[in-house]
Structure 1
């Protein structure tokens, strides 16, 4: 019996081993983890466990943990360590959320849509113009946790820039709220860049729709595709305006430094500009679709008029030859010496007259 217990004890992992295994599982999704104090980074990258220990020991410090597409198992340890709400954790792991800001006690949970412009040589009915991802941010009293989904929207450059400008701007000294603002500002700046790039595509399709070289209906597929991409962009930016405004309101002053709130108002202003630009794209593309359909209708009407005019012209010889093909015996014209030539001349004269009339009225 004692031998069996010894075997079980040898097989059963110790608590330290379980903690190490949990650390290994979470570290696979951790992109960077660092501790900041007085606006400056302390040391190099460390594990989340070490970051928590340093933050608890150092007064006024906070840690910033960046993760990329963590699984439930990888995020469970970090969520438990920082006391994150289960609903927010579920949203962060599974993604596919609308842009929003939620408050869980002393923790702010923000969802942002990241947008990336996809290069393409020319716009086609199947061109992808924008690609979207998701970025979740947990901002607590002494921590910032970012969870990124998608192949773009990396925050490594932003983190490096904030660390380099720490002595000048002093934003990192404002704590997690300053990091939350920097992330929101970074995402909205990407929106501005994408909107400027999309302006070129919209201008190109507008020129092509009204250009005589294309012809009616040739650009409908391209317009529909670009409109789908604009709608995807619109779904990413429009719902974010209200959360940005909420962060700059007095109700959020308990969680966000009033000085940082001023910066959030600036982000909201930039976001409002992007929304106006995207809504302008949407309205312009609607107008282009209507103009394209109008061009198609006009072209169809012109074709129908031409067909009708030629049908009327050919109806004249058809009618006359039909009359003379009835084979009645008492038809005086049948015995006229020059009747055949007179009928041909009459048919030709009537057809020429009808052709000139249709031509003058623009039917041919």
Structure 2
């Protein structure tokens, strides 16, 4: 593997001949080796300029719209088959589970930094895999380039030991690492939602904090869903165009297994969306129940106070009443007040109104 080691745009790659790595790599050699059936090429361009990628596109006869998509500020997950090559866009993700811990401080940064993504564009042309990754223009304090480590992909390629099976093995290894990242992010989101569920019945947790956390988790889940769900179509198109991979049916089992992983990640993501919705609705229901309990208690105490108020109000009229100007009348009034309050309290308590 060779890295140009310069700041700014970086080019890294490897050429294999008869399954063995060839020393030295230059981007200009890609077009020379692309028609050699005994070779296989991988080139990784990090933050390439438009001129650099356009020049490579002219050499390899890449679709100019695909080149524009690879350099666009944002692009959806997709796979497009052209006459001479296949263009694929996927997103690597990483979720900061610590930011979603119940005892962490809740702030706006949770929504912004908990889920990180990095776009990876791929050109599959002949026996070459060209990857384009964009990391420039991001805040230096937010190292999103760490979301996807190409060294993990290189290690995966070394593990499978199937480089002689064609460029499709390179593509499978890269997508496998990406999907594994999706699984890890979904797992961490699942753990965060379970923590959220345990907080529902914790009286020490404020309702506002719980609502805020639910909203932020749902926001991150929606962002994850946008990059996970379309992966089904991506792997499906690759399976349909497996002849273009130069490996025919030799990688069918691997891509079928990858498609199964994608489906599991998709189904898991969908179930998490239902869980977040359930948590949100349950929280609202609990708030309504608490409000009803408070209103029930307030109504009960109001009734207890209302009866003595009626008695004292009645005897406070400017007319003589039984026991007027006598101690017995005052005692009778007090006894009536206490008796009415005790009777009402017992009745409300039995009905769980207090």
**Runs of 4 or more above 3 Å deviation:** 50-53, 56-59, 123-126, 210-218, 330-337
- Give the 5 Å matches for 1:1-364: 28-44=8-24, 46-53=25-32, 55=33, 59-120=37-98, 122-123=101-102, 125-126=106-107, 127=110, 128-150=113-135, 151=145, 152-162=147-157, 164-165=158-159, 169-211=160-202, 214=205, 219-249=210-240, 252-257=242-247, 258-328=249-319, 331=321, 334-364=324-354
Q: Distance in 1 between matches of 2:350 and 2:26?
A: 85
Change in Cα spacing, 1:245 to 1:190, as seen in structure 2 (3 Å) is: same
Deviations 1:84-116 (A, max 9, x none): 111111110014222111011120101111111
Return the offset for 1:136: 0.7
What is the number of residues matched between the two proteins? 332
Change in Cα spacing, 1:161 to 1:277, as seen in structure 2 (3 Å) is: closer
RMSD over aligned Cα, in angstroms? 2.6
8 Å CA contact 2:129, 2:167 repeated in 1: yes
8 Å CA contact 2:35, 2:126 repeated in 1: no
Normalization by structure 2: what TM-score? 0.84
Normalization by structure 1: what TM-score? 0.82
Q: Distance in 2 between matches of 1:319 and 1:31?
A: 89
Deviations 1:113-167 (A, max 9, x none): 11112141624544343211211110100321101134221212312442x44xx
Q: Distance in 1 between matches of 2:9 and 2:51?
A: 10
Gaps of 5+ in 1: 1-23
Larger radius of gyration: 1
Q: Distance in 2 between matches of 1:28 and 1:215?
A: 47
8 Å CA contact 2:126, 2:246 repeated in 1: no
With 288-297 and 266-275 compared, the bigger mean Cα shift is at 288-297
Change in Cα spacing, 1:157 to 1:216, as seen in structure 2 (3 Å) is: closer
